[in-house]
Amino acid sequence: MSIKVTHNAGFFSCCSIRLTNILKYINLNKQLPIEVDSSEQFKLYKLNNEDITYEYFEHYNKMQNININKETFEPIYVNDQFIDYSTIEYKNINPLVQKYFTPNTNINNIIQNIETKYNLDYKNICVLFYRGNDKNRETLICDYEEYVEYANLILTKNKEIKFLIQSDETEFIIFMTKLFPNNSFYFKDEIRSINKCDDTVDVIMKHLNNEFSKYYLGITIIMSKCNYIICGSGNCSQWIMYYRKNNNNTIQNLEGKWIINII
């Protein structure tokens, strides 16, 4: 049987609902769906009405020989973006992410180009990821200063660390690059940010969504590869963990509480 997913919102919200629907199908039927139709998703990022799912991901029919346990899945739901990421059933989720959300050649080329352009040395990078602006409608977002305490904690563990500053709030980027002028950087040409407000770059800069959503998927995968991650909670942070396949060496802010998993 087939499933059709029609949810539309931000990019990774669309991904989360797609994944949730696949999981629900498996839980109910103890088998994979024959078809996953996402043609009506990702509307914010379309240039026309065509299906753009495979502008980002390899088709799942190409992803063979992936061992997916169809008997022991725990259901996940939309609000799972606001959980302690150490509680995710990575063993079960990881194969599904691999099958249905593996980046295609174009996204991998974006990743490789960024890696080369910025000379990324993953073992010496700590991500400071702050999803702000309209996210305050859904969850409690901490002040910038709270990130500093944990950034300094990582510095005590690795004096060679470089901070990758990633945010949709211009003020956060300015604040952190000024605070760490000699050991921070951000992707100047590949991200969009706006001054702090109750809105989103996807709305304010909608005409750029198709192009920059591909950069953002690539950057999310890049963030997942970094040695340390300091982040808030939301769909974007959760997908960093999905691509990371664990939450090792992460520090997560969840509704005002910091969850530290440094190994």
Q: Domain span at residue 179?
A: 119-261
Q: How many Å apart are CA 210 and CA 219, to the nearest integer?
A: 15
Q: Looking at residue 162, which CATH number applies to its domain?
A: 3.40.50.11350
Of 55, 78, 106, the one marking the end of a domain is 106
Specify whether 135 is located in the same domain as 213. Answer: yes
Specify whether 257 is located in the same domain as 144. Answer: yes
Residue 113 lies in a domain: no
Under a CB-based contact definition with an 8 Å cutoff, are residues 38 and 53 in contact?
Answer: yes
Concatenating the DSSP letter of every residue in 19-49 gives: HHHHHHHHHHHSS--SEEE-TT--GGG-SSS
Q: In the predicted model, is pLDDT for residue 227 greater than 70?
A: yes
Which residues is 258 bridged to in the sheet?
253
Specify whether 18 is located in the same domain as 102. Answer: yes
Q: Which residue has the higher pLDDT, 89 or 168?
A: 168
Residue 235 lies in a domain: yes
Residue 49 lies in a domain: yes
Q: In the predicted model, is pLDDT for residue 109 greater than 80?
A: yes
Specify whether 175 is located in the same domain as 237. Answer: yes
Q: In the predicted model, is pLDDT for residue 74 greater than 70?
A: no
Residue 18 lies in a domain: yes
Q: What is the mean pLDDT of residues 211-220?
A: 98
* Per-residue model confidence (pLDDT) at position 72: 64
Of 59, 81, 106, the one marking the end of a domain is 106
Confidence of residue 263 (pLDDT cuts 50, 70, 90): confident
Q: What is the mean pLDDT of residues 18-42?
A: 94
- pTM here? 0.96
Confidence of residue 157 (pLDDT cuts 50, 70, 90): very high
Q: In the predicted model, is pLDDT for residue 78 greater than 60?
A: no
Q: In the predicted model, is pLDDT for residue 80 greater than 90?
A: no
Specify whether 94 is located in the same domain as 213. Answer: no
Residue 180 lies in a domain: yes
Concatenating the DSSP letter of every residue in 60-72 gives: GGG--S----SS-
Specify whether 93 is located in the same domain as 218. Answer: no
Q: In the predicted model, is pLDDT for residue 79 greater than 80?
A: no
Question: What six digits make up the tokens of 180?
Answer: 């760490």
Specify whether 35 is located in the same domain as 127. Answer: no
Task: Name the domain count of the chain.
Answer: 2
Q: In the predicted model, is pLDDT for residue 238 greater than 70?
A: yes
How far from each other are the two terminal CA atoms of the chain, in whole angstroms?
A: 43
Specify whether 160 is located in the same domain as 221. Answer: yes
Q: Which residues contact 53 (CB under 8 A, 6 or more apart)?
A: 38, 39, 41, 42
Q: What is the mean pLDDT of residues 70-77?
A: 67
* Per-residue model confidence (pLDDT) at position 76: 64
Determine the Cα angle at 22 with ends 112 and 12, to 5°: 45
Residue 57 lies in a domain: yes
Of 85, 106, 127, the one marking the end of a domain is 106
Matching residue, tokens 């998703």: 41
Which residues is 103 bridged to in the sheet?
57
